[in-house]
Amino acid sequence: MDILPYSDNHHAFRMKLREFLSSEVTPYVDQWESDHIVPKSIWKKMGQEGFLCTAVSREYGGFGGDFLYSVIVIEEMVKTNHTGLMVQLHSDIVVPYIESFGTEIQKRRYLPGCVTGDIVMAVAMTEPNSGSDLASMTSTAVEEEGQVVINGAKTFISNGINCDLVVLAAKDPSVDDPHKAVSLYLIEADTPGFKKGNRLEKLGMHSQDTAELFFTNCRIPQAQLLGKKGHGFIQLMQKLQQERLVCVIWALAIAKNILSWTEDYCRNNPKFGKPLAASQSVQFSLVEMLTEIRIGTAFVHQLIINHMQRKERVIDTSMAKYWISDMANRVANRCLSMVGNMGMRETCPIVRMWRDIRVFSIFAGTSEIMKSIIAKSKAF
């Protein structure tokens, strides 16, 4: 049962998006996967149709939609069976930093372009030697004659090649407390001293332009500080609930998509003269996975409602992040095994989903980090 309060406007938006994706995205996905990148032109098409940054207010070019529009975009994008066009990262994870912490000048300069797709955003936190432990980052930001000089390297940056604007986390080396040393900065892609590395070859997400970013004496105006100096760590923590919830909704949608395809395959493909679905062991496997997905859906939908009511649900979101990610991986593994030899071929749709879902237990905080957060909260 769907407990989310979708309106007629939500349903109309979903149908419009579904039609757009069927004509402008799905037919090209295989080529993008082969190219290991999506073209910038598709970002602009998404923006022109109103599918980017649905929460941005009309004042800055958006239409001020609620979080359910974001849920719809995530779910419908999953049905295209690729992760290269990472709309949710741009719209629901990175752009909110500008909405929440940006100055009026920054908002008017950047948000309209984010809505239209003329500006693609990325967030640069992870470094070669620091991932989940943000306090150990080594990228530096030093104020010098009215400017900020950035030095350091970031890695595993999604949208790293296509990005036009980056939210960068860097430290003031003169501050001893690592949690008070971090600040966030807005860096435009054509800034001297900012260089994009090569696309990273990955197990999955082949069409996602994940890259390393390098900053060598990269000078930006002090006005590019995002929020208050030294508040970067706090700002990152404030945005983690929505970031992780986005990942949870995304992983759940992939699990549903995998199971739906597998169920259809088992009903329509025979073995020993009968459909695979006639086997009791297959039936029980499908039932077990469906049950887990239904349980996860109820939990996630309640989290979405709580989040829309601006309730803090850090612990529950951490629980969902590790459990849904692990569950989606279990579903992917079981379904791939159930379809037999078909699951060894690249033409099998769930092969791509199986690869892509693996990273969900790693990014936005590993499952182990989620469990650590829950344990420290003494929630049990």
Q: Which residues are catalytic?
A: 243
* H-assigned helices in the chain: 8-24, 29-35, 40-48, 67-78, 87-88, 95-101, 104-116, 178-181, 232-268, 280-308, 314-338, 349-357, 367-377
CA distances from 27 to 20, 21, 32, 45, 282 (A): 11, 9, 10, 15, 32
51 contacts 114 by C-beta, under 8 angstroms = no
φ, ψ dihedrals at 349, nearest 5°: -55, -35
In sequence order, the β-bridge partners of residue 152 are 215
As a whole number of angstroms, the distance between CA 303 and CA 291 comes to 19
Tokens for 360? Answer: 């969900």
Half-sphere exposure in the Cβ direction for 125 (13 Å, CA):
20
Tokens for 186? Answer: 């807005």
- SS3 string, 36-93, reads CCCCHHHHHHHHHCCCCCCCCCHHHCCCCCCHHHHHHHHHHHHCCCCCCCCHHHHHHH
Amino acid at 134: L
- Helices 314-338 and 367-377, packing angle to 10 deg: 150
